[in-house]
Amino acid sequence: MLGIDLGATKVVSGLVAADGTILQHSGRVVHSNDGPNGVIRAVAQSARSCWDPAAAGPVRIGIAVAAQVDPTEGTVLHAPNLGWRDIPLGALLAKELGVPVAVINDARAAALAEWQHGAGVGASDLFFLSLGTGIGGSAVVGGRLLEGGTHAIGEVGHLTIVAGGRRCHCPNSGCFEAYAGGWGIAERAQEAVREKPSAGRALLARAGGVSAISAQTVFEEYRAGDALAGRLVGETERYLADGAVGIVNAFNPSLLVVGGGLVAGMPRFVPVIEAAIRSRCQPPAAGARVETSRLGENASLVGAACVAREIARGP
């Protein structure tokens, strides 16, 4: 199977064995300014660089996208970071590559991969919490990956954790990801530095300018012992605790798998989340096991290949 992970700035393709092992993979930069046709050409090039149809024959292909997706039609309904609305990605890519292509939301793909090949093997009730630039999630309940009325269940990044709080990129305000997602951490850090430049010297020096301060800058300065970065990380931990407690109370998973770029950059977030669940969730839910994603940055790619395998089996 061939799995593809399409983000806002890059696409990675990989040939994936039945046990979830990535046999070969290749990445390409994508420019959302090129429009859907340009991006789809880059995706097809990335796919072809690890799959030669003449030598290997046809494969089934799945593509995970950071977007709201209708998997039955293979349509990207809304991808804010790519600037796409209602793009029939599956059909366009199938035409380009000559084989069927399944389309899935990236957080759902990552959940599927962790469930079938990663930290969640054998679990019948798990929640995958993706902490990246944004915050997303997906739930397996009673051995089924949940879908939702518009295929968008598990958008936990938009749970309100501060009433009347920070503006989000969605129509709501006070959202979980506006505080604890990568972009939310960066915005909070930039505001703190603008407010008191003397306290932000180390962050400024590392990033080279206020608007270049990212969550990663904050994590690096935290490790270097900077006081403002320490405060920002401490606040982020409290927001993560609030969000995770609500999620575990709502979904009652026996296993919470935590993944995404923020966890790779700050592994201590996982024990912080676990401690909050133990002490603050309703007693039966508080026993949920908490694990770090095992597939890491490859989770969505492997999940896309899992979906391709499902279409290969047929209905």
Residues in contact with Zn ion by the rule CB under 5 A: 158, 168, 170, 172, 175
User: Minimum distance from CB of 160 to Zn ion (Å)?
Assistant: 8
The alpha carbon torsion through 125, 280, 293, 121 (nearest 10 deg) reads -20
User: Minimum distance from CB of 282 to Zn ion (Å)?
Assistant: 25
- Tell me the two tokens of residue 20: 């979830």
What's the CA gap between 21 and 77, in Å, rounded?
30
What's the CA gap between 207 and 212, in Å, rounded?
5
Of 253, 265, 271, 275, nearest to 297 by C-alpha is 265
Nearer to Zn ion, 108 or 158 (CB): 158
What's the CA gap between 65 and 87, in Å, rounded?
12
CB 51 within 8 A of CB 26: no
Nearer to Zn ion, 76 or 175 (CB): 175
Nearer to Zn ion, 60 or 158 (CB): 158
User: Minimum distance from CB of 141 to Zn ion (Å)?
Assistant: 23
- Extended beta strands in 106-213, E state: 126-131, 135-141, 144-145
Nearer to Zn ion, 170 or 264 (CB): 170
User: Minimum distance from CB of 180 to Zn ion (Å)?
Assistant: 12
Report the half-sphere exposure of 26 (CA within 13 A, side-chain side).
Answer: 13
Nearer to Zn ion, 172 or 279 (CB): 172
Nearer to Zn ion, 8 or 286 (CB): 8
Q: How many Cβ atoms sit within 10 Å of the Cβ of residue 31?
A: 11
Full strand arrangement of the beta sheet holding 75-79: 68-70, 75-79, 84-87
What's the CA gap between 118 and 299, in Å, rounded?
8
User: Minimum distance from CB of 90 to Zn ion (Å)?
Assistant: 27
User: Minimum distance from CB of 137 to Zn ion (Å)?
Assistant: 13
